[in-house]
């Protein structure tokens, strides 16, 4: 019941669907003087900062090959980045109120024996993407020391 699409990014198979906050930043890492691994660590740091804001103190990042943000043995946020000529594409998928049963059909991120979780599951209440978008963007600005400008902003 889902389409399978090949993507040029790090990591193995994952699921993208409703209830996920998908962020695909396009950055010139050379301009930011940021190595690729430091960029991935920055993505993890911004999700960890968001988790702290929401009260999930147990969220953590693990060393490769366990890229992303974890709650125990369950992945909360998957990260898969592609970089060409120092320009990033793809990014992260944070499970907010995702139907986790989709992950039963795959081995998420190619990691046998690991689970998948969501903010809603961990916090015991419905957490919509719209609820976390502003604190996510604030965390992005703080971690990457930048100012985000909406395409809807005049000028």
- Taking the C-alpha atoms of residue 1 and residue 128, their distance in angstroms, rounded to an integer, is 23
Distances (CA, A) of 147 to 57, 80, 143: 26, 23, 11
The answer to whether 115 is a known ligand-binding residue is no
The answer to whether 80 is a known ligand-binding residue is yes
The answer to whether 12 is a known ligand-binding residue is yes
Token pair in block for residue 116: 């998948």
- Taking the C-alpha atoms of residue 58 and residue 71, their distance in angstroms, rounded to an integer, is 6
**109 catalytic residue (yes or no):** yes
The answer to whether 87 is a known ligand-binding residue is no
The answer to whether 16 is a known ligand-binding residue is yes
Q: Out of 51, 77, 96, 109, pick the active-site residue.
A: 109
User: Known binding site for substrate: residues?
Assistant: 9-16, 78-80, 91-93
**Positions marked active-site:** 109
């Amino acid at each position: 019941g889902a389409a399978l699409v090949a993507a040029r990014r790090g990591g193995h198979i994952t699921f993208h669907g409703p209830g996920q906050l998908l962020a695909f930043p396009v950055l010139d890492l050379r301009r930011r003087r940021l190595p690729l691994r430091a960029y991935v660590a920055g993505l993890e740091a911004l999700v960890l900062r968001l988790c702290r804001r929401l009260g999930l103190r147990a969220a953590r990042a693990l060393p490769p090959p366990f890229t992303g943000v974890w709650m125990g043995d369950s992945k909360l946020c998957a990260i898969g980045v592609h970089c060409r000529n120092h320009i990033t594409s793809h990014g992260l998928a944070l499970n907010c109120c995702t139907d986790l049963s989709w992950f039963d059909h795959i081995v998420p991120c190619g990691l046998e024996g690991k689970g998948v979780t969501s903010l809603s599951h961990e916090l015991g209440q419905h957490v919509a993407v719209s609820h976390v978008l502003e604190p996510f963007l604030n965390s992005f600005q703080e971690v990457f020391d930048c100012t985000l400008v909406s395409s809807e902003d005049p000028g």
